[in-house]
Amino acid sequence: MLTIAIGADDAATDLKNLMKSHLQSKGIEVVDFSHDIGENALMYPDIAYNLASAISEGAYPRGILLCGTGIGMAIVANKVPGVRAAQCHDTFSAERSRKSNNAQVLTLGARVIGPELAKNIVNVWLDSEYEGGGSAPKVEKIDYYEKLGKPV
């Protein structure tokens, strides 16, 4: 069974709950890192960092982060070594984030897209796999710069 990590801040709680139900209806297990789980009162940078760290450590193959725009979550998740997060607000970008960039984290903006589009984006993202090919050297270069950690 596929397990997806999910995390949202207060701006995206409703969309997160919808996405959880959507994923579970597809037989996908969901682990929630959100601000509203238990006594968790973390801000979006903490949620994004914790989820991306779990992805980086191999605890989950993929994750979905939601906030008002998806921007902040993507910025933070991309600070975690080994993680490629893509902010997507259309299905083509979602597909390419996987097929060309091997993004393990999808970020969505609850104030930017509606629920049906969000479901479609998630479906396309889940159904897409990294193709390598001509994109492989580019992804390898991303990894190289990440490890380098300073301008060349």
Local structure of 47: helix, strand or coil: helix
81-87 — which CB contacts under 8 Å span 24+ positions?
Answer: 81/56, 81/146, 81/147, 82/55, 82/56, 82/146, 83/52, 83/55, 83/56, 84/139, 84/142, 85/48, 85/52
Task: Answer yes or no: are the C-beta atoms of 4 and 64 closer than 8 Å.
Answer: yes
Cα separation, 139 vs 49, in Å, equals 21
Q: Which of 6, 23, 64, 67 is catalytic?
A: 67
Cα separation, 88 vs 96, in Å, equals 10
Is 88 one of the annotated active-site residues of the chain? Answer: no
Active site residues: 67
